[in-house]
Structure formats: structure tokens, C-alpha cells
């Protein structure tokens, strides 16, 4: 039997996986559960892992997989699965997944996201093939990540960020933000005391705080591609 916090965490992880295809960062989980430190998140994840509800994917940063949901999260019609049929129980507990898509979509590749280079300045004729299964609804573009300011969110130098175009975002989402119409950056977005705070995911960097009129959201992170050489 899971505790209330364990229930809350696995539901949050599953919701984020359904929305973005990426498991939430430890910072996002800490804030979502109103915990004081990331050590509490580590304990909850370890407990869920020991009980067979989630597993960590080896050799991948920020990668969690929900194996099964708690029994009370399964619709009543699904609960008739035999108790000794672990495969049937796991399938019933998981939300319906889309069929794998073999289609490839060409999306604009706007170059490296770096200081002093607004998104508009990077637009050109380059494009990037992306499996359709990685993209949700809406218009998307890709950016090559430069730097290490988001490594604790599993985003590394040289990765390709798949971004859904939008000019709105909720607190805690990773966005492409254009600052003072000069600098494009990939950061967590937060609203604090009437100001816009752009948070890195690297303890070596400080949050950046701006007036609302100095920041324009140009998209939200929808996925990542990584090349292994």
C-alpha cells in the first residue's frame, strides 16, 4: 500500500510523461509535492522502485518509466484482471498509449540557442527529420543546445531541443524565452512577486529575474534528441 505522497508522486510522473514524453526533474517533483528538499524525492522514488511501480532507465539522465499505477488509479472495469497475471495487471494500469508512428516529420532547425542570438535571427532554410511519435499537436522547431545550464534537467550541450511554438507557459515549465529582444535562452519559467524568473537546472548558475515586458515566451520544451558518437 502506498503513502499519500507516493500516490501523488507517481500520478505527477505519469501525467508529465503523457504531456511531454519526458519525466519531470527532481526540482519539479520537489515543488509539485511541496517537499523541502530533493532528498525526500529520492526516498519516494526509491520506495516506488522497490515496490515495482516505477523503474529508472539505465544510462539515461532524468529517465523514469511507470511500470504500473496503483490499484485505485485503475478504472473499475479494468480491475477484473487475474491477480496472478502480472502482465495483464500492468497493461490495465497504464493509460492507453498511441500506436508507434514510423512517420518522419521535417521541422525547422534554428541552430544553437546561445546568448545574443534571438530565435528570429537563427531562422533559415535548415530542417531536421524527427519521428512523428516524439511530437504532439502544434507547430514545432528544433534548437541545438549550447552550454550546461540545464544539465540537472537532463539537457546537455549538443542535445537537440524539440520545441512547440507557443507564447504562454505555466510556472515550472521549460521554455525558450527571448530576453530584451536580444538573448534566447532555455530555462524553467517562474513568476515571482510580479517578476519573471528564469531558473537554470545547474547549481553553478543563478536564476535570472526580469520585468514581464522584458521576456517573451517563444515555445515550450516538447522533447529531446541526442546523438551518440
Active site residue 37: no
Look at the block and give the residue holding cell 551518440.
228
Residue 1 has a pLDDT of 65
Total residue length of the chain = 229
* Whole-angstrom distance, CA of residue 76 vs CA of residue 216: 45
Residue 226 has a pLDDT of 83
Question: Tens digits of per-residue pLDDT, 191-219?
Answer: 999 999 999 998 898 999 999 999 999 99
How much of the chain is in helix, strand and coil states, percent to nearest 5?
30, 30, 40
Which residues in the chain are classed under CATH 2.10.109.10?
A: 104-225
Q: How confident is the model at residue 190 (pLDDT cuts 50, 70, 90)?
A: very high
The one catalytic residue among 23, 25, 30, 187:
187
3-class DSSP state of 134? helix
Do 24 and 32 form a contact (C-beta atoms < 8 A)?
yes
Has residue 175 got a pLDDT over 90?
A: yes
Residue 128 has a pLDDT of 83
Q: How confident is the model at residue 220 (pLDDT cuts 50, 70, 90)?
A: very high
The one catalytic residue among 25, 30, 149, 220:
149
For residues 63-71, average pLDDT: 79
Q: In this structure, what DSSP letter does residue 218 have?
A: E
What is the rounded average pLDDT for all residues in the chain? 77
Percent of the chain surpassing pLDDT 90? 19
Q: Is the pTM of this model over 0.75?
A: no
Active site residue 149: yes
Residue 129 has a pLDDT of 86
Residue 202 CA, distance from chain mean position: 16
> Domain 4-93, what fold?
Arc Repressor Mutant, subunit A (1.10.10)
For residues 40-68, average pLDDT: 76
* Whole-angstrom distance, CA of residue 191 vs CA of residue 40: 25
> Domain 104-225, what fold?
Umud Fragment, subunit A (2.10.109)
Which residues in the chain are classed under CATH 1.10.10.10?
A: 4-93
Amino acid at each position: 500500500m502506498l503513502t499519500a505522497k507516493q500516490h501523488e508522486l507517481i500520478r505527477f510522473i505519469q501525467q508529465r510523461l503523457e504531456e511531454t514524453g519526458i519525466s519531470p526533474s527532481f526540482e519539479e517533483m520537489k515543488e509539485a509535492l511541496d517537499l523541502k528538499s530533493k532528498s525526500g524525492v529520492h526516498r519516494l522514488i526509491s520506495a516506488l522502485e522497490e515496490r515495482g511501480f516505477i523503474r529508472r532507465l539505465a544510462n539515461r539522465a532524468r529517465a523514469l518509466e511507470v511500470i504500473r499505477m496503483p490499484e485505485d488509479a485503475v478504472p473499475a472495469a479494468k480491475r477484473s484482471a487475474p491477480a496472478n497475471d502480472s502482465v495483464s495487471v500492468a497493461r490495465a494500469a497504464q493509460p492507453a498509449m498511441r500506436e508507434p508512428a514510423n512517420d518522419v516529420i521535417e521541422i525547422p532547425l534554428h541552430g544553437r540557442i546561445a546568448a545574443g542570438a534571438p530565435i528570429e535571427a537563427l531562422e533559415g532554410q535548415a530542417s531536421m527529420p524527427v519521428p512523428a511519435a516524439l511530437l504532439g499537436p502544434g507547430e514545432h522547431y528544433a534548437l541545438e543546445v549550447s552550454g550546461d545550464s540545464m544539465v540537472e534537467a537532463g539537457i546537455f550541450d549538443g542535445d537537440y531541443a524539440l520545441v512547440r511554438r507557443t507564447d504562454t507557459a505555466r510556472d515550472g515549465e521549460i521554455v525558450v524565452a527571448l530576453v530584451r529582444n536580444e538573448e534566447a535562452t532555455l530555462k524553467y519559467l517562474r513568476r515571482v512577486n510580479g517578476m519573471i524568473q528564469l531558473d537554470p537546472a545547474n547549481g553553478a548558475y543563478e536564476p535570472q529575474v526580469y520585468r514581464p515586458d522584458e521576456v517573451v515566451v517563444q515555445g515550450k520544451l516538447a522533447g529531446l534528441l541526442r546523438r551518440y558518437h
